[in-house]
Amino acid sequence: MAVSTATPEAPATGRPGPARTARKRPSGWLFLAPALLALVVLFVLPLAGLVVDSFTEPETGLGNYASLFTDGYTIRVLGRTLVIALIVSVIGALLAYPYAYAMTLAGPTMRALLVTIVLIPFWTSMLARNFAWLVLLQDGGVVQKILTPVGLGDVRLLGTPIAVGISMTQVLLPFLVLPMYSAMSQIDGRLVAAGQSLGAPRSRAFRRIYLPLSAPGVVAGMSLVFVLALGFYVTPALLGSTRSAMIAQVINVRARELLDFGGAGAMGMFLLVVTLVVLALSRRLAGQNVAVTAAGGQPRRTGGTADSSAPVRPWLKVHTTIVAIILVAPTLVVIPMSFSSSETFRFPPDTWSLRWYENLFTSPEWTAAILNTLQVGIYTAVIATVLGTMAAFGLARLRPRWRGPVNGFLLSPMIVPHILVALVVFSAFLQLGLNGTLIGIILAHTAMALPFVVIAVTARLQGMDGRLPAVAASLGASPLSAFRRVTLPLVLPGILSGAVLAFVTSLDEVVIALFLQAPGAITLPVQMFNSITVQIDPTISAASSLMVVLVSVPILLAQVVGARRGKKGTR
């Protein structure tokens, strides 16, 4: 037979089909320019300005950084923040691991239920959930009543780090369960059985085989939660007290009340550095283990294979049930609360009424807040979708060696703690006169929402057969026509879900909106926040329910559209 005398047909591979012509394509940068410019102006330059401030305000030197560790107060705040974040991620992991494991063992129906339960917190706005915990943990609240039989009924919870920790753990639990589940579902269920057949007792086989293989998910989840917990502002502000303040609260006070941007900037930098270090470490750790997983054999879904070797133990059922209750509890509190007729946050309510809804939709400050929120959300969704979609198309046209770094830059707003973004934007917008305007909030939200659009559209573009535009050309379609008739319809679901994510991100965002608020520019989450901290106004319970609806309707809609389009399929 033929002697194979292969010479490379094209530089990279011989058979990518007619992919695209090998012409130079500077247009990639053209598509990226608006998004990159927006991030630089809204984010990079202000951040750089803040870094400069941290070294120069009020006087040049390392004074701000030195005082982090020497003024006696800040160091305690930093220590407390780190400890709370660590405890939250450890306890969260202990709760999440068995739950995720149970998800892999469950049958299809049960698994769908467990997945839905994990996602419920995402559909319940941040403020609604914190409000629910405030109701549950208050003096004489449900949690205290449960603790009474064990003699802990008079332990004060609200205003303590315990309340902060409980609420943060619940709020962050999905971020632990999901990566763990994703790692576990890659594990071949037969491996533990194989370990047992090689002489290891069940528990040791689990410890030596399953645990290491699921470790990447654990590391990824814990580091993400640790990082997110560090920058938490709303929860400690609502459920804690200033005596046990966390770093974000101190940044808030320094920046907004003392206008000490040097000091706040130094704290923000500390937060950013810790975040980057933790994420880099986790990537190294998880990355190595991912290689182990790959070497461990064909990754496969654990559908029914695990069932034979691992029956669902009773303790696992109990644990899973408890975690499920913790996950849905706040949502279950918020909705009945909104129908209460009481002036207090008493739960469960004694009498029912619609008065808080009436107030929500009639009182000027609440209706203004709702309209502001919708306005900000829609503008953010539109701008972020346009910029993000163009950027995703630009990314796909870049040379591979540029793609990674540019993508990383576009996604960077996701890993920077919100409190730092808020601080950066606040200090910059103060000089530009954008503070206290909806435009300021829209611009800042656009930067936050951009990554979600880029991710959604990129995923869709990558799932598309790259030859199809060329195929269309061979059938007579001009480049414009090929884009309109082939590329756009195939990528549209990604664009839509990006838009929904951008809208929801903006809708639920509190910290930046809090920093930029002014009498004419108060969004619904800010109004809710103020209704607890400034005056006690039970209208928040109706607002919380409204938020659940506002968030879940677009998501459900997107899913229905997605399912319809899914039938049309990408492949």
| Site for other proteins, rule CB under 8 A | 1-11, 14-15, 17-23, 465, 467-468, 470-479, 481-482, 485-486, 489-490, 565, 567-571
Residue type at position 163: A
Q: Which is nearer to other proteins, 343 or 465 (CB)?
A: 465
CB of 7 to other proteins, least distance (A): 5
CB of 498 to other proteins, least distance (A): 18
Q: Are 446 and 376 in contact (CB under 8 A)?
A: no
Q: Which is nearer to other proteins, 321 or 474 (CB)?
A: 474
Q: Which is nearer to other proteins, 17 or 287 (CB)?
A: 17
* Best CA proximity match to 518, nearest among 448, 460, 455, 441: 441
Q: Which is nearer to other proteins, 321 or 478 (CB)?
A: 478
CB of 473 to other proteins, least distance (A): 4
Q: Which is nearer to other proteins, 106 or 477 (CB)?
A: 477
Q: Are 116 and 178 in contact (CB under 8 A)?
A: no
CB of 480 to other proteins, least distance (A): 10
Q: Which is nearer to other proteins, 112 or 488 (CB)?
A: 488
Q: Which is nearer to other proteins, 316 or 471 (CB)?
A: 471
Give the angle subtended at the CA of 273 by the CAs of 272 and 275, to the nearest 5°: 65
CB of 301 to other proteins, least distance (A): 20
Helix 314-338 crosses helix 161-184 at what angle (to 10 degrees)? Answer: 120
The DSSP symbol for 3 reads: -
CB of 28 to other proteins, least distance (A): 19
Give the angle subtended at the CA of 345 by the CAs of 341 and 348, to the nearest 5°: 70
Q: What number of CA atoms fall less than 13 Å from residue 357's CA on the CB side? A: 13
Tokens of 92: 């969260």
Q: Which is nearer to other proteins, 245 or 482 (CB)?
A: 482
CB of 393 to other proteins, least distance (A): 18
CB of 29 to other proteins, least distance (A): 22
Positive/negative CA dihedral, 409, 410, 414, 417: positive
Helix 45-56 crosses helix 261-295 at what angle (to 10 degrees)? Answer: 120
CA distances from 36 to 41, 48, 397, 419, 454 (A): 9, 16, 15, 22, 12
CB of 6 to other proteins, least distance (A): 4
The residues with which 352 forms a beta bridge, in sequence order, are 340
User: Torsion-angle region of residue 36: left (phi > 0), alpha (psi -120 to 50) or beta?
Assistant: alpha
Residues 361-391 as b/e (b if ≥16 CB within 10 A, e otherwise) read: eeeeebebbbebbbebbbbbbebbbbbbbbb
CB-count exposure of residue 69 (10 Å: 0-12, 13-18, 19+):
exposed
CB of 389 to other proteins, least distance (A): 17
Q: Which is nearer to other proteins, 377 or 469 (CB)?
A: 469
Residue type at position 201: P
DSSP string, 506-546: HHH--HHHHHH-BTTB--HHHHHHHHHHTS--THHHHHHHH
Q: Which is nearer to other proteins, 20 or 355 (CB)?
A: 20
The residues with which 518 forms a beta bridge, in sequence order, are 521
The DSSP symbol for 5 reads: -
CB of 43 to other proteins, least distance (A): 36
CB of 25 to other proteins, least distance (A): 14
Q: Which is nearer to other proteins, 474 or 559 (CB)?
A: 474
Q: Which is nearer to other proteins, 2 or 295 (CB)?
A: 2
CA distances from 214 to 185, 221, 301 (A): 9, 11, 13
Residues near 98 by Cβ (< 8 Å), separated by ≥ 6? Answer: 316, 319, 320, 323
Cα 405 to Cα 32: distance, rounded to the nearest angstrom: 13
CB of 543 to other proteins, least distance (A): 40
Q: Which is nearer to other proteins, 102 or 558 (CB)?
A: 558
